[in-house]
Structure 1
Amino acid sequence: MPRSAARPLRPVALVMVLLSAVVPVWLSSPDAHAANADGRHNGLIRHDGRIRNDGLIRDEVTFRGGAGLPLHGTVVAPASPARHEVRAPGIVLLGGSGPGPRTEYRQEAETLARAGIVTLVFDKRTVGYSTLHRDFGLLADDALAGVRLLRSRTGVDPSTVGLWGFSEGGWVAPLAAARSGDVAYVITIGGSGLDPLRTQTWNLTTHLRHRRITGSFPHAVAGPAAQLLYSAGLFPAADYDPLPVLARLRQPVLALWGAYDNQVPPAESARIFQRTLGKAGNRRVTIRFLPGAAHNGHRTTDGFDRLGGPRFAGNPLGALAPGYADTMASWVWAVAAGRAPSSSAFPAPHQQAVSTPLPGGTGYEAAALALLLTGFAGYAVTGIRRPATRCRPARRLAVLGLTTVVGTPLCTLSIYVAGEGVAAPVIAGRPLAWLLLQLCAVGVLALTAVTATSAWRHRNRYTRATRTRLIALVTAGALFLPWALHWGLLAG
């Protein structure tokens, strides 16, 4: 997996400690092992089959994923085969970002099983995967371990076991399929054709607009804040490029997006999938948009709510959108029968905003932050020993400048950590915290002028060391102007 994020610069160690406390934001292993569901040992650690009154068999399994890590999952299968003439196809479900417990995808697993498709859903690893570290290659190893488990299961056709990847899984499933001919097909739902950081900035700014936050704040989140995250190495797998992987896919692909997807840019991603796979010669690519569906393919009115379905982490997941399960099941059975549909694509729904690539010059953010912190904090920390030589405007400038320079990235980066909800309350289209920072920025510029004037007028009162401190402080105030303009602190 490519990753070229620069290491944090040493001069900003202090602020990086602060940022690391609040920033996640949204990833060489030995082969994994699989197992037979009838209990024969083939890498399977545990197996416990149960038939419930809903007509489904659930086997609790533990198998070894990438680097030999035990992974816990459930194989869900119909009690009686849906189609007696063939062995059942199989599918491994790969969840989105975050902890990803298997219960989040219970609806998909059970619905596919009722359609006669043997389904494995498992808890995402917690070793080698964290807020600040993502290894898509390791997650792909886990996926292939799951494929091997289903391929060795009695009653499953080993030649028709595929992968389903949701959101982050839309990067992982193609990577796993490109690595192994054991994967018969790939389904993605809400997969992004863009790198993770660009995808996340589109996601956040879309949600900010939904909260009627306009002006410079969304720009600061998607621009300077994203640059700082990237240059500091605080956004995991920020520049992972999915295009080379898509270009290597030879398996049939069903790429789905909810018509109301507001977490990845659906129209852009669909064009990228269609163009990249088609250019690579894959003629079995089906692209569909699900009416009335959100990012996860579940029912919604606008993409921001969920209708029906079970609750997960206290929030409704939404019931599966009409046509979602039928589209997947009929497509899988067509592939299993050797009749994978030829490439086709539905027209894309309107996408409210186009994503923007990460602006260039990412090293500027850390360097500018270092200079400003040195100028403002240096004066505030060292001070002036003699009361007679103290410059009152300078002290105020140092404190206000330091507050603004630290507060601005923390305010914007908090959106990456906790979501757009932390932007409340909103006044005149601006988060209150952002509005206060904008007022502070004006104050910094005013105090810079006052301090420079006062220091020049009383220059004969100061020692050489004091004049040096004042020059450094006023220089920081002058450099603050382009920095504030870049962050949008002086914009509407």
Structure 2
Amino acid sequence: MSPKIRPRRRGLRIAAWSLVMVLVVAAGLAGVVLWQNSYAMDEQRVSIRHGGHTLNGVLATPKDGRKRHGLVVYIHGDGPVDATHDDGYKPLWEANAKAGYASLSWDKPGVAGAPGNWLEQSMDDRADEAVAAVAWARARPDIDGHRIGLWGASQAGWVLPKVAAKTPVSFVIAVSPAINWLRQGRYNLLAELRADGASASRTKAEIAKSDTTRRLLARHATFEEYVRAMGGDADGMTADRWGFISKNYTADATQDLRALRGVPVLLALAGHDINVDTADTERTYRKVLDAGGALTVERYPDAAHSLLKQSIEQSDLKTTLTALFSPRSLFADRFLDGQRQFLEDLGRGSNASP
């Protein structure tokens, strides 16, 4: 064989083996992703009729062989959220399933092809929607109607007690809920300015802009009036969003929380929350609910507002990689176990509703 051909063939063999190794590693990584994103529960798409239209939902049930399960009904926070929250709810649903509970969630109106527009909803509209979902669940033979509770995050803090005032619930898990819309907005503004290292002049200008917005809301100004008041710069505000804020800016959960007296409530608060004043939230929940002894407050020092680890949430790359290869690790330490434990304790009667 010519000595000039051997190195060429050797190079081809090396290239071939390199390609094989790349394919093996890629297949291995794909396998890890599939394994890590497989959850110990069954999921099915469901349809719930409400107000002349359909809620497109997902029902996740435990694989424990039981014919009936308790249920956790999910109330979303702000934004265009689909039933699974882009699969972000699934680790939570799995924790519920381990405790013997099913989970129910649905696309917000206008999201993922669902009819309607969530920006046209008031907090009362959202509560009515959840009440319809609870009624639908109570009619199912595989759901224990005496063990249906609510899970809600952030903006859902204004919805959860409204639901409880309209239909009996067995428990509530409130994650980073706010109390007063306007106070929450001001807290968030100042916290973000501090995080950005804003100058005193910028802070003063942003507060003045916020005060102008409040005055416009108080006199029921139109979106066009808002844009003119902002000097023609809507800064991301849309007509639909302005309408949504106008419907809901007076929201305050303080009085509504009385509907949760005697109901076991798990209040989960983040240590790095720049969206919600957790001290105000805890103080109000304790003032209204502590007397009945059914309130449990858990703080997660390593968590951001979403109850994801702050160290992960601060980086889009870390969030993406963790979601792919270890989605349960996205959440603050003890959060998933704490939710599971709360539900298991309900089953043992340690926090049973009277």
| 8 Å CA contact retained: 1:286, 1:341 | no
Cα gap change, 1:260 to 1:162, in 2 (>3 Å): same
2-side partners of 1:270 and 1:326: how far apart? 21
Deviations 1:365-401 (A, max 9, x none): xxxxxxxxxxxxxxxxxxxxxxxxxxxxxxxxxxxxx
**Percent identity between the two aligned chains:** 26
1-side partners of 2:182 and 2:292: how far apart? 27
2-side partners of 1:106 and 1:323: how far apart? 16
2-side partners of 1:261 and 1:73: how far apart? 29
Q: For residue 302 of structure 2, give the secondary structure of its aligned residue in structure 1.
A: coil
Deviations 1:96-125 (A, max 9, x none): 111111232333223322442100121112
| 8 Å CA contact retained: 1:295, 1:303 | no
Aligned runs of 1:434-445 on 2, under 5 Å? none
Return 5+ residue gaps in structure 1 as ranges.
1-51, 343-492
Q: For residue 264 of structure 1, give the secondary structure of its aligned residue in structure 2.
A: coil
The structure with more radius of gyration: 1
Name the residue aligned to 1:91. 72
Question: How many Å apart are 1:226 and its aligned residue?
Answer: 3.5
**Letter matched to residue 184 of structure 1:** S
**Letter matched to residue 283 of structure 2:** R
Deviations 1:65-110 (A, max 9, x none): 3x233111110112225xx6x9422101111111111232333223
Q: For residue 292 of structure 1, give the secondary structure of its aligned residue in structure 2.
A: strand
1-side partners of 2:186 and 2:352: how far apart? 34
Further displaced range: 165-174 or 297-306: 297-306
Cα gap change, 1:292 to 1:107, in 2 (>3 Å): same
2-side partners of 1:310 and 1:59: how far apart? 27
Tell whether 2:335 aligns with 1:324: yes
Cα gap change, 1:227 to 1:319, in 2 (>3 Å): same
Tell whether 2:208 aligns with 1:198: no
2:277 to 265, 276, 301: 265
Cα gap change, 1:311 to 1:101, in 2 (>3 Å): farther
2-side partners of 1:153 and 1:297: how far apart? 32
**Letter matched to residue 259 of structure 1:** G
Further displaced range: 294-303 or 163-172: 294-303
Name the residue aligned to 2:265. 253
Name the residue aligned to 2:197. 212
2-side partners of 1:253 and 1:113: how far apart? 19
Aligned runs of 1:297-308 on 2, under 5 Å? 297-301=307-311, 304-305=314-315, 308=319
Question: How many Å apart are 1:298 and its aligned residue?
Answer: 1.3
| 8 Å CA contact retained: 2:41, 2:63 | yes
Cα gap change, 1:282 to 1:62, in 2 (>3 Å): same
**Letter matched to residue 263 of structure 1:** N
Name the residue aligned to 1:142. 129
| 8 Å CA contact retained: 1:259, 1:291 | yes
Q: For residue 99 of structure 1, give the secondary structure of its aligned residue in structure 2.
A: coil
Tell whether 2:66 aligns with 1:56: no
Question: How many Å apart are 1:134 and its aligned residue?
Answer: 4.0
**Letter matched to residue 144 of structure 2:** D
Name the residue aligned to 1:222. 207
| 8 Å CA contact retained: 1:93, 1:163 | yes
Return 5+ residue gaps in structure 2 as ranges.
1-36, 111-115, 221-241
**Letter matched to residue 143 of structure 2:** V
2-side partners of 1:317 and 1:99: how far apart? 23
Cα gap change, 1:302 to 1:61, in 2 (>3 Å): closer
Deviations 1:319-371 (A, max 9, x none): 122211111111122223332079xxxxxxxxxxxxxxxxxxxxxxxxxxxxx
Q: For residue 263 of structure 1, give the secondary structure of its aligned residue in structure 2.
A: coil
Cα gap change, 1:144 to 1:230, in 2 (>3 Å): farther
1:186 to 169, 172, 189: 172
**Letter matched to residue 100 of structure 2:** G
2-side partners of 1:117 and 1:190: how far apart? 22
| 8 Å CA contact retained: 1:292, 1:300 | yes
Name the residue aligned to 2:294. 284
1-side partners of 2:105 and 2:177: how far apart? 18
1-side partners of 2:315 and 2:161: how far apart? 29
Question: How many Å apart are 1:296 and its aligned residue?
Answer: 1.3
1:119 to 95, 100, 103: 103
Tell whether 2:161 aligns with 1:168: no
1-side partners of 2:283 and 2:175: how far apart? 15
Q: For residue 260 of structure 2, give the secondary structure of its aligned residue in structure 1.
A: coil
2-side partners of 1:75 and 1:230: how far apart? 43
Name the residue aligned to 2:3. none
2-side partners of 1:53 and 1:231: how far apart? 49
| 8 Å CA contact retained: 2:96, 2:343 | no
2:349 to 335, 338, 344: 338
Cα gap change, 1:73 to 1:263, in 2 (>3 Å): same
Tell me: higher relative CO, structure 1 or 2? Use CA pairs within 8 A at least 6 residues apart: 2
| 8 Å CA contact retained: 2:40, 2:94 | no
| 8 Å CA contact retained: 2:171, 2:264 | yes
2-side partners of 1:317 and 1:333: how far apart? 19
Cα gap change, 1:78 to 1:302, in 2 (>3 Å): closer
Question: How many Å apart are 1:155 and its aligned residue?
Answer: 3.3
1-side partners of 2:328 and 2:200: how far apart? 32
Q: What is the aligned-residue RMSD (CA, Å)?
A: 2.8
Deviations 1:47-82 (A, max 9, x none): xxxxx97442111001023x233111110112225x
1-side partners of 2:109 and 2:62: how far apart? 27
1-side partners of 2:205 and 2:352: how far apart? 44
Deviations 1:453-475 (A, max 9, x none): xxxxxxxxxxxxxxxxxxxxxxx
Question: How many Å apart are 1:273 and its aligned residue?
Answer: 1.0
1-side partners of 2:193 and 2:185: how far apart? 12
2-side partners of 1:200 and 1:96: how far apart? 15
